[in-house]
Amino acid sequence: MRPVRYTPLHPQWFAFLDERRRLRWAAERARGVVLDIGCADQRIEPLIPSGCDVYFGLDIPARTSAIYRSRPDVYGDAERLPLRDGSVDTVMLMEVLEHLPDPAAALHDVRRVLRPGGRLVVSVPFVYPIHDAPWDFRRWTEYGLRQMADAAGYRIVELSHRGDAPRTGALLFNIGMAWEAAQAPVWLRPLALAFAALFTPGVNVGAWLASLGGERNPIMPYGYQAVLERREQASP
């Protein structure tokens, strides 16, 4: 469904539109030496400002499959980064924290490699289906993110939600319908897929119209994004 992923015909229309905005948002906040943890195919690299010193991506060997098309510059573990202390200005963890067995350990090791005043750019899902199973471990609210950042020695300088009730509801409904249709018995599958395809555009357009005034309601986002700055001393 790649040709239609940026149209209302796709069940994840809002997610794909959001990905474009999210990558641009993250790239605009990069500076100095940039480390992209969980870089996959490094799709953010072309967006990194030319004023940055260097960009390099890190990932694990398991993500070099055809599904992820990962092409990191460095192989490594986010919880035990193969880098010197204070060697990086900006670290990116874009839709990665939820897949780490020990995200607190990762945040502490990221803090170790960040220079004083360095920043961590993060995005995470919230109300969103399980994905990349069995490596999808958790979800955070805004308050959980704040608590985790403070405990790891960061201060949050920017935090915003992505999506509102109409868009999140549409995304979940469409993904659920498409999934159930694809899993239907063979004899029923064509009808189920046709039913899902028929409803998806209307659900997407309806949610888009309902959100025209802006994403005002923060109680049901499908994700969050934040900029964390390294503090010189972690909270006791």
Does 144 fall in a domain? yes
Catalogue the long-range contacts made by 144-150 (C-beta closer than 8 Å, 24 or more residues apart).
145/224, 145/226, 148/103, 148/104, 148/107, 149/107, 149/226, 149/228, 150/235
Q: Is 135 helix (H, G, I), strand (E, B) or coil?
A: coil
Amino acid occupying residue 19: E
Does 54 fall in a domain? yes
Does 177 fall in a domain? no
Q: How high is the pLDDT of residue 78?
A: 95
- Total number of domains in the chain: 1
Residue 106 domain boundaries:
15-163+217-230
We report the CATH number of the domain holding residue 43 as 3.40.50.150
Does 158 fall in a domain? yes
Does 82 fall in a domain? yes
Does 185 fall in a domain? no
Does 174 fall in a domain? no
In the chain (236 residues long), the average pLDDT of successive 10-residue segments reads 85 94 97 96 94 94 64 91 97 97 97 97 97 93 97 96 94 96 94 94 95 77 97 64
- Bond preceding residue 134 cis, omega within 30 of 0: yes
pTM for this structure?
A: 0.90
Q: How high is the pLDDT of residue 213?
A: 75
